[in-house]
Structure 1
Amino acid sequence: MECETFIDPSPENFEQFKKLPRDEPIHMLNLLLYREKADYPEGHEHAGKGWSGRRAYEEYGKTSGPIFRRVGGRIVWRGAFRTMVTGPEFESWHDGFVAEYPNAGAFFEMIKDPDYAHAVVNRTAALVDSRLVRFSPGEVGEGFG
Protein backbone atom coordinates (compact mmCIF):
# COMPACT_ATOMS: atom_id res chain seq x y z
CA MET A 1 0.00 0.00 0.00
CA GLU A 2 1.35 3.42 -1.01
CA CYS A 3 1.27 5.94 1.82
CA GLU A 4 2.03 9.61 2.17
CA THR A 5 5.18 10.54 4.06
CA PHE A 6 5.77 13.46 6.40
CA ILE A 7 9.01 15.17 7.36
CA ASP A 8 7.95 18.74 8.17
CA PRO A 9 4.64 20.08 9.51
CA SER A 10 2.08 21.21 6.98
CA PRO A 11 1.15 24.90 7.27
CA GLU A 12 -2.34 23.87 8.44
CA ASN A 13 -1.03 21.53 11.16
CA PHE A 14 1.48 24.10 12.34
CA GLU A 15 -1.26 26.76 12.57
CA GLN A 16 -3.29 24.40 14.79
CA PHE A 17 -0.21 23.84 16.96
CA LYS A 18 0.33 27.61 17.30
CA LYS A 19 -3.28 28.13 18.43
CA LEU A 20 -2.87 25.82 21.44
CA PRO A 21 -1.88 27.26 24.85
CA ARG A 22 1.78 28.25 25.01
CA ASP A 23 2.18 28.44 28.79
CA GLU A 24 1.77 24.76 29.72
CA PRO A 25 4.23 21.85 29.59
CA ILE A 26 4.10 19.76 26.41
CA HIS A 27 5.18 16.28 25.42
CA MET A 28 6.08 15.71 21.79
CA LEU A 29 5.88 12.13 20.54
CA ASN A 30 8.45 11.62 17.77
CA LEU A 31 8.29 8.57 15.48
CA LEU A 32 11.23 8.18 13.11
CA LEU A 33 11.81 6.20 9.92
CA TYR A 34 15.35 6.67 8.62
CA ARG A 35 16.45 6.72 5.01
CA GLU A 36 18.85 3.98 4.04
CA LYS A 37 21.21 6.71 2.82
CA ALA A 38 21.00 10.32 4.02
CA ASP A 39 19.75 12.77 1.39
CA TYR A 40 21.64 16.04 1.85
CA PRO A 41 21.23 18.97 -0.53
CA GLU A 42 24.01 19.36 -3.07
CA GLY A 43 26.83 21.44 -1.65
CA HIS A 44 26.00 20.70 2.01
CA GLU A 45 29.05 19.94 4.16
CA HIS A 46 27.82 16.34 4.73
CA ALA A 47 26.69 15.63 1.15
CA GLY A 48 28.68 12.83 -0.43
CA LYS A 49 29.90 11.38 2.88
CA GLY A 50 27.75 8.28 2.35
CA TRP A 51 26.08 8.60 5.75
CA SER A 52 23.08 6.46 6.63
CA GLY A 53 19.88 8.18 7.67
CA ARG A 54 20.51 7.05 11.23
CA ARG A 55 23.97 8.65 11.17
CA ALA A 56 22.50 11.91 9.83
CA TYR A 57 19.91 11.86 12.64
CA GLU A 58 22.72 11.38 15.16
CA GLU A 59 24.28 14.52 13.70
CA TYR A 60 20.95 16.30 14.13
CA GLY A 61 20.93 15.26 17.79
CA LYS A 62 24.50 16.45 18.27
CA THR A 63 23.87 19.85 16.65
CA SER A 64 20.35 20.51 18.02
CA GLY A 65 20.92 18.99 21.48
CA PRO A 66 22.53 22.06 23.07
CA ILE A 67 19.63 24.25 21.90
CA PHE A 68 17.06 21.66 23.08
CA ARG A 69 18.65 21.54 26.54
CA ARG A 70 19.07 25.34 26.74
CA VAL A 71 15.30 25.87 26.29
CA GLY A 72 14.62 23.31 29.05
CA GLY A 73 13.89 20.27 26.89
CA ARG A 74 14.57 16.70 27.96
CA ILE A 75 13.80 13.21 26.70
CA VAL A 76 11.31 11.47 29.03
CA TRP A 77 10.98 8.22 27.07
CA ARG A 78 12.87 6.53 24.24
CA GLY A 79 12.36 3.20 22.49
CA ALA A 80 13.09 1.08 19.43
CA PHE A 81 10.14 -0.03 17.28
CA ARG A 82 9.30 -3.75 17.30
CA THR A 83 5.88 -4.26 15.67
CA MET A 84 2.55 -2.55 15.00
CA VAL A 85 -0.05 -4.01 17.37
CA THR A 86 -2.98 -1.72 16.54
CA GLY A 87 -2.71 0.36 13.41
CA PRO A 88 -1.87 0.06 9.75
CA GLU A 89 0.39 -2.92 9.05
CA PHE A 90 2.33 -0.91 6.47
CA GLU A 91 3.37 1.66 9.07
CA SER A 92 6.62 0.91 10.85
CA TRP A 93 9.26 3.02 12.56
CA HIS A 94 12.87 2.65 13.55
CA ASP A 95 12.81 4.71 16.74
CA GLY A 96 10.48 6.74 18.89
CA PHE A 97 10.86 9.13 21.78
CA VAL A 98 8.94 11.67 23.83
CA ALA A 99 10.52 15.10 24.21
CA GLU A 100 9.30 17.23 27.09
CA TYR A 101 9.35 21.03 26.93
CA PRO A 102 8.51 23.30 29.87
CA ASN A 103 6.03 25.04 27.57
CA ALA A 104 5.25 25.56 23.89
CA GLY A 105 7.17 28.84 24.00
CA ALA A 106 10.35 26.84 24.63
CA PHE A 107 9.64 24.74 21.53
CA PHE A 108 9.17 27.91 19.46
CA GLU A 109 12.37 29.38 20.92
CA MET A 110 14.24 26.26 19.83
CA ILE A 111 12.96 26.16 16.24
CA LYS A 112 13.55 29.92 15.78
CA ASP A 113 17.19 29.69 16.91
CA PRO A 114 19.53 30.35 13.93
CA ASP A 115 21.72 27.42 14.98
CA TYR A 116 18.66 25.15 14.90
CA ALA A 117 18.04 26.10 11.25
CA HIS A 118 21.54 24.78 10.53
CA ALA A 119 20.94 21.60 12.59
CA VAL A 120 17.52 20.69 11.14
CA VAL A 121 19.04 20.06 7.70
CA ASN A 122 20.44 16.86 9.22
CA ARG A 123 16.96 15.78 10.34
CA THR A 124 15.51 16.37 6.89
CA ALA A 125 18.36 14.46 5.26
CA ALA A 126 17.96 11.59 7.74
CA LEU A 127 14.25 10.80 7.55
CA VAL A 128 12.04 9.20 4.96
CA ASP A 129 8.99 9.58 7.23
CA SER A 130 8.16 10.84 10.70
CA ARG A 131 5.38 11.83 13.06
CA LEU A 132 5.48 14.64 15.59
CA VAL A 133 2.45 14.67 17.90
CA ARG A 134 1.85 17.16 20.72
CA PHE A 135 0.33 15.94 23.98
CA SER A 136 -0.39 17.60 27.31
CA PRO A 137 1.37 15.60 30.03
CA GLY A 138 -1.01 13.58 32.20
CA GLU A 139 -0.78 11.72 35.47
CA VAL A 140 1.53 8.70 35.57
CA GLY A 141 0.20 5.68 37.46
CA GLU A 142 -0.94 2.10 37.44
CA GLY A 143 -4.24 2.36 35.59
CA PHE A 144 -5.30 3.15 32.05
CA GLY A 145 -7.96 5.74 32.86
Structure 2
Amino acid sequence: MSPMVTSAQRTYLEVTEAAGRDFVQRGLQGPVVMLNLLKYRQVADYSAHPELAPSTPVSGEAAYGVYMEHTLPLLQKSGGSILFWGRGAPFLIGPTEEAWDAMLLVKQASVESFLAFASDPAYLAGVGHRIAALEDSRLLPLTEEAVPGMVPALDPGGA
Protein backbone atom coordinates (compact mmCIF):
# COMPACT_ATOMS: atom_id res chain seq x y z
CA MET A 1 0.00 0.00 0.00
CA SER A 2 1.34 3.44 -0.91
CA PRO A 3 1.73 6.13 1.77
CA MET A 4 -1.03 8.72 2.05
CA VAL A 5 -0.21 12.06 0.44
CA THR A 6 -1.25 15.03 2.54
CA SER A 7 -2.21 18.35 1.01
CA ALA A 8 1.07 19.76 2.39
CA GLN A 9 3.00 17.20 0.30
CA ARG A 10 0.93 17.40 -2.86
CA THR A 11 2.28 19.33 -5.82
CA TYR A 12 0.48 20.83 -8.78
CA LEU A 13 2.17 20.99 -12.17
CA GLU A 14 -0.63 20.34 -14.66
CA VAL A 15 -4.33 21.12 -14.84
CA THR A 16 -6.67 18.29 -13.95
CA GLU A 17 -9.60 17.39 -16.16
CA ALA A 18 -12.05 18.46 -13.44
CA ALA A 19 -10.33 21.82 -12.87
CA GLY A 20 -10.25 22.50 -16.62
CA ARG A 21 -13.94 21.68 -16.94
CA ASP A 22 -14.81 23.92 -13.97
CA PHE A 23 -12.74 26.77 -15.46
CA VAL A 24 -14.64 26.59 -18.77
CA GLN A 25 -18.03 26.21 -17.06
CA ARG A 26 -17.51 29.35 -14.98
CA GLY A 27 -18.45 31.28 -18.11
CA LEU A 28 -15.97 34.09 -17.49
CA GLN A 29 -16.44 37.04 -19.83
CA GLY A 30 -13.76 39.44 -21.04
CA PRO A 31 -10.06 39.44 -20.26
CA VAL A 32 -8.63 36.81 -17.92
CA VAL A 33 -5.45 37.27 -15.89
CA MET A 34 -3.65 34.15 -14.74
CA LEU A 35 -1.80 34.41 -11.43
CA ASN A 36 1.10 31.94 -11.58
CA LEU A 37 3.00 31.02 -8.40
CA LEU A 38 6.20 29.11 -9.18
CA LYS A 39 8.50 26.96 -7.05
CA TYR A 40 11.59 25.85 -8.99
CA ARG A 41 13.36 22.52 -8.61
CA GLN A 42 17.01 22.72 -7.55
CA VAL A 43 17.85 20.67 -10.67
CA ALA A 44 15.38 20.39 -13.54
CA ASP A 45 13.84 16.92 -13.89
CA TYR A 46 13.43 15.98 -17.55
CA SER A 47 12.48 12.34 -16.85
CA ALA A 48 8.94 12.91 -18.22
CA HIS A 49 10.30 14.67 -21.35
CA PRO A 50 13.80 13.30 -22.03
CA GLU A 51 13.64 14.53 -25.63
CA LEU A 52 13.84 18.12 -24.31
CA ALA A 53 16.65 17.52 -21.81
CA PRO A 54 19.81 19.58 -22.21
CA SER A 55 23.13 17.76 -22.50
CA THR A 56 24.14 18.78 -18.96
CA PRO A 57 21.91 19.29 -15.89
CA VAL A 58 20.42 22.76 -15.38
CA SER A 59 18.57 24.41 -12.54
CA GLY A 60 14.81 24.56 -12.47
CA GLU A 61 15.01 28.32 -12.89
CA ALA A 62 17.15 27.91 -16.03
CA ALA A 63 14.73 25.33 -17.44
CA TYR A 64 11.85 27.73 -16.79
CA GLY A 65 13.79 30.37 -18.70
CA VAL A 66 13.94 27.98 -21.69
CA TYR A 67 10.18 27.42 -21.33
CA MET A 68 9.56 31.19 -21.36
CA GLU A 69 11.81 31.71 -24.41
CA HIS A 70 9.74 29.07 -26.20
CA THR A 71 6.39 30.34 -24.90
CA LEU A 72 6.61 34.14 -25.09
CA PRO A 73 6.36 34.47 -28.91
CA LEU A 74 3.39 32.07 -28.92
CA LEU A 75 1.72 33.96 -26.07
CA GLN A 76 2.14 37.27 -27.91
CA LYS A 77 0.88 35.75 -31.17
CA SER A 78 -2.26 34.61 -29.32
CA GLY A 79 -2.90 38.16 -28.08
CA GLY A 80 -1.67 37.43 -24.57
CA SER A 81 0.83 39.46 -22.59
CA ILE A 82 2.86 39.35 -19.40
CA LEU A 83 1.66 42.05 -17.01
CA PHE A 84 4.14 41.33 -14.22
CA TRP A 85 7.04 39.02 -13.40
CA GLY A 86 8.54 39.11 -9.94
CA ARG A 87 10.84 37.21 -7.61
CA GLY A 88 9.07 35.61 -4.67
CA ALA A 89 9.86 35.33 -0.98
CA PRO A 90 8.15 33.99 2.14
CA PHE A 91 4.68 35.38 2.77
CA LEU A 92 4.18 38.48 4.88
CA ILE A 93 0.73 37.06 5.71
CA GLY A 94 0.44 33.34 5.14
CA PRO A 95 2.01 30.03 6.04
CA THR A 96 5.67 30.38 7.00
CA GLU A 97 6.53 26.99 5.47
CA GLU A 98 5.21 28.06 2.08
CA ALA A 99 7.36 30.23 -0.19
CA TRP A 100 7.32 30.80 -3.95
CA ASP A 101 10.36 31.57 -6.08
CA ALA A 102 8.54 33.67 -8.66
CA MET A 103 5.16 35.13 -9.52
CA LEU A 104 3.80 35.84 -12.95
CA LEU A 105 0.64 37.61 -14.14
CA VAL A 106 -0.38 36.67 -17.70
CA LYS A 107 -3.31 38.36 -19.45
CA GLN A 108 -5.40 36.81 -22.20
CA ALA A 109 -8.28 38.52 -24.04
CA SER A 110 -10.73 35.78 -23.07
CA VAL A 111 -11.08 32.23 -21.81
CA GLU A 112 -11.36 31.14 -25.44
CA SER A 113 -8.05 32.76 -26.40
CA PHE A 114 -6.38 31.20 -23.34
CA LEU A 115 -7.69 27.76 -24.28
CA ALA A 116 -6.55 28.20 -27.90
CA PHE A 117 -3.08 29.20 -26.69
CA ALA A 118 -2.84 26.36 -24.15
CA SER A 119 -3.88 23.74 -26.70
CA ASP A 120 -1.66 25.01 -29.56
CA PRO A 121 0.64 22.15 -30.66
CA ALA A 122 3.55 24.62 -30.94
CA TYR A 123 3.06 25.59 -27.27
CA LEU A 124 2.61 21.99 -26.15
CA ALA A 125 5.90 21.05 -27.83
CA GLY A 126 7.78 23.04 -25.16
CA VAL A 127 5.59 22.59 -22.08
CA GLY A 128 7.90 19.78 -20.90
CA HIS A 129 10.43 22.48 -19.94
CA ARG A 130 7.85 23.90 -17.50
CA ILE A 131 7.17 20.47 -16.00
CA ALA A 132 10.91 19.78 -15.69
CA ALA A 133 11.53 23.19 -14.11
CA LEU A 134 8.91 23.26 -11.39
CA GLU A 135 8.68 21.53 -8.06
CA ASP A 136 5.24 23.05 -7.51
CA SER A 137 2.97 25.72 -8.95
CA ARG A 138 -0.42 27.36 -8.69
CA LEU A 139 -2.49 28.88 -11.49
CA LEU A 140 -5.39 31.10 -10.46
CA PRO A 141 -7.66 32.64 -13.13
CA LEU A 142 -8.71 36.18 -12.25
CA THR A 143 -11.17 38.63 -13.77
CA GLU A 144 -11.20 42.36 -13.23
CA GLU A 145 -13.85 43.94 -11.04
CA ALA A 146 -14.50 47.42 -9.73
CA VAL A 147 -12.89 48.19 -6.40
CA PRO A 148 -15.65 48.13 -3.73
CA GLY A 149 -16.53 51.63 -2.56
CA MET A 150 -14.87 53.43 -5.47
CA VAL A 151 -16.91 55.66 -7.74
CA PRO A 152 -16.12 55.04 -11.42
CA ALA A 153 -14.21 57.91 -13.04
CA LEU A 154 -16.45 60.36 -14.84
CA ASP A 155 -16.14 60.54 -18.61
CA PRO A 156 -14.55 63.98 -19.23
CA GLY A 157 -16.34 64.22 -22.58
CA GLY A 158 -19.70 63.19 -21.12
CA ALA A 159 -22.45 64.98 -19.26
TM value normalised by structure 2:
0.81
Using the alignment, how far apart are the partners of 1:75 and 1:139 within structure 2?
21
Using the alignment, how far apart are the partners of 1:136 and 1:80 within structure 2?
23
Say yes or no: does 1:114 pair with 2:121.
Answer: yes
Deviates more, 1:47-56 or 1:93-102: 47-56
Aligned with residue 111 of structure 2, among 95, 104, 113: 104
Residue correspondence of structure 1 range 38-53 to structure 2 within 5 A: 38-41=44-47, 43-53=50-60
| CA deviation profile, 1:49-83 (whole Å, cap 9, x unmatched) | 21110011001001111111011111112211122
Q: Give the corresponding residue for 1:16.
A: 22
* Secondary structure at the counterpart of residue 51 of structure 2: coil
TM value normalised by structure 1:
0.88
How much has 1:48 moved relative to structure 2? 4.4
Q: Give the corresponding residue for 2:87.
A: 80
With over 3 angstroms needed to count, the CA separation of the structure-2 counterparts of 1:109 and 1:76, relative to structure 1, is same
Over the matched positions of the two proteins, sequence identity in percent amounts to: 29
How much has 1:107 moved relative to structure 2? 0.8
Q: Which segments of structure 1 move beyond 4 Å, counting only runs of 4 or more?
A: none
5+ residue gaps, structure 2:
1-5, 151-159
The answer to whether the 8 Å contact 1:71/1:110 transfers is yes
Q: Give the corresponding residue for 2:36.
A: 30
| CA deviation profile, 1:74-110 (whole Å, cap 9, x unmatched) | 1112211122122222111000011000111111111
5+ residue gaps, structure 1:
none
* Secondary structure at the counterpart of residue 126 of structure 2: helix
The answer to whether the 8 Å contact 1:36/1:53 transfers is yes
The answer to whether the 8 Å contact 1:30/1:130 transfers is yes
* Secondary structure at the counterpart of residue 98 of structure 2: coil
**Bigger radius of gyration:** 2
Using the alignment, how far apart are the partners of 1:53 and 1:26 within structure 2?
27
Q: Give the corresponding residue for 1:5.
A: 11
Using the alignment, how far apart are the partners of 1:89 and 1:28 within structure 2?
24
Residue correspondence of structure 1 range 51-70 to structure 2 within 5 A: 51-70=58-77
